[in-house]
Amino acid sequence: MIEQDPIPALLATAAPATGEGILVGAMSVLNEAAPVFLVAFLVTLVATPFVRLMAVQAGIIDKPDQQRKLHKYPVAYLGGLAVFLGLVAALGVSYAFVGMGERDFMPVPWEILAGMTAIAFVGFLDDLDSMHPWGKIAGQLVAAALLCYSPENAFGTPIARGLLYPIMHGGVGEWLAGSTAGIVTEDAIYYWVGIVLVAGMILGACNAANLIDGLDGLLTGTSSIMAVGFLAVGLLLAATLPVGVEQGQFVAARVVLALALLGALLGFLPWNFNPAVIFLGDCGSLLIGYLLAVCIMMQAQEDSISLFFAGLIIFALPIMDTLLAIIRRKLAGLPMSAADANHIHHQAKRLTGSVRKAVILLYGVTAAFTLLGVGLAALQLFERPRVLVVYSIAFVLFAGLICVALKSALLERWQVAPRAEATPEALPGSPADAAKPADPAKA
């Protein structure tokens, strides 16, 4: 028999039982952690021009090609170094503010800071001198391994338990225990599946963030919006879940990490928004992807997998772009590492006619998914039976945008293909269809 989800029961024992009480509790936590945001913002804002000067003097610049790199003049790399400095300063300050009033919560785990440093270092090396893709993957796996070093893999095991619990308690667990004579336990399965999930999340999020970093201010701005969503969910959890809940070490860490990421990104955005004078580079894009993956995993509560899916919905835009890239390259018979100019941001730029309009459009898409993700998390915490509504809306929006983007990429591919290779039958309704002679039978 499947046990009841513990979160609704725990909410009944939480101190702030009313909406007003929850708001007061959330604002109290936010007020205690506000210095983290301010330090991240100021350090990144001030450090960015110095990092840019260093990059220019070292010749670490990105030259435009007007195909995939759409900026009009050479722009410095290494912006991720400034973001990293802001984050380190903010997390350092957070250790003096994690008490959050009368609630003695644990600070951000050291495993996050260690993994963040490993990711930033790998990206920095790649910005200095392009690394082999396997070298970057190895660095990302090191960061994932550092997260798994946490007690009982606190980042991945709760997600694995939430995903597998119904299966393990539907007869599979008893069969496994009997067939292995108890050698393979249920907890061991959760642990090892959790390790695989952590590795997959880090690899997927880092590379998805790297792929979408193609227009001035795009990754910086969309990640800021996502950070606001993770902050909102973190505040809800901090204000509703009582002290002593398992995974309680993340109650403060969720809020602190989201605030630090938001502050650093907003401190970098004025320098990075169109027209940009500095780019994030791989140091920044990999670092941001790593931290967003950590936010998603920390948001997941044991036996409450909807909070994990809520995080994935907030992160939907990079997931969508990566999925489309895989589909396009499979259809074209190209390797996954092949570059093209049909990413979502390229299509948005062609649609709107300008980088700035394209970026603002994608900010709106990210905001829509973020609202859905936060809404799903809120419903999970307060009115669980209605979560299917949010799942349905998110799925329709995601699938619809996938179809529109794929159609746009196919049309673009047909238009640039040689006329002899064009196949009107493959694209009904294309310009070639209009050129066909009318069928007398249909006249």
All structural domains of the chain with their residue ranges: 6-308
* H-assigned helices in 170-272: 173-179, 186-212, 218-240, 250-272
Of 312, 320, 318, nearest to 296 by C-alpha is: 312
The pLDDT confidence band at residue 134, using thresholds 50, 70 and 90, is: confident
pTM for the complete prediction?
A: 0.83
What pLDDT does 180 receive? 54
**Cα Rg for the chain, rounded, in angstroms?**
23
What is residue 270's predicted lDDT score, i.e. its pLDDT? 95
- Residue 109's nearest CA partner among 243, 375, 297, 339 is 297
Q: With residue 404 as reference, give the H or E element that holds it.
A: helix 387-416
| Band of residue 336 on the pLDDT scale cut at 50, 70, 90 | low
**CA–CA dist 133, 25 (Å, integer):** 45
pLDDT at 287 over 60: yes
Residue labelled with tokens 């290779």? 421
Cis omega (within 30 of 0) for bond into 275: yes
User: Which residues have CB under 8 Å from 206's CB, separation 6+?
Assistant: 119, 140, 285, 286, 289, 290, 293
**What pLDDT is stored for residue 415 in this prediction?**
60
CB neighbours of 345 closer than 8 A, spacing ≥ 6? 212, 214, 215, 218, 321, 358, 359, 362
Model confidence at 65, pLDDT cuts 50, 70, 90, reads low
Nearest residue to 342 via CA among 316, 351, 219, 127: 351
pLDDT of 85-116, one tens digit each?
Answer: 999 999 998 887 655 544 556 778 889 999 99
Query: How high does pLDDT run on average in the chain?
Result: 79
Residue 245 clears pLDDT 90, i.e. is over it:
no
* Tokens read off for 415: 């238009």
The predicted-structure confidence for 153-176, as pLDDT tens digits, reads as follows: 788 888 888 888 767 666 555 555
Long-range contacts of 52-55 (CB under 8 A, 24+ apart): 52/76, 52/78, 52/79, 52/271, 52/277, 52/278, 54/78, 55/278
Distance CA 215, CA 207 (A): 16
Model confidence band, residue 197 (pLDDT cutoffs 50, 70, 90): very high
pLDDT at residue 326 tops 60: yes
Q: What is the pLDDT of residue 248?
A: 55
Q: How far apart are CA 318 and CA 312, in angstroms?
A: 10
With residues binned 3-state (H G I as helix, E B as strand, rest as coil), the percentages for the chain, rounded to 5, are 75, 0, 25
pLDDT at residue 14 is higher than 50: no
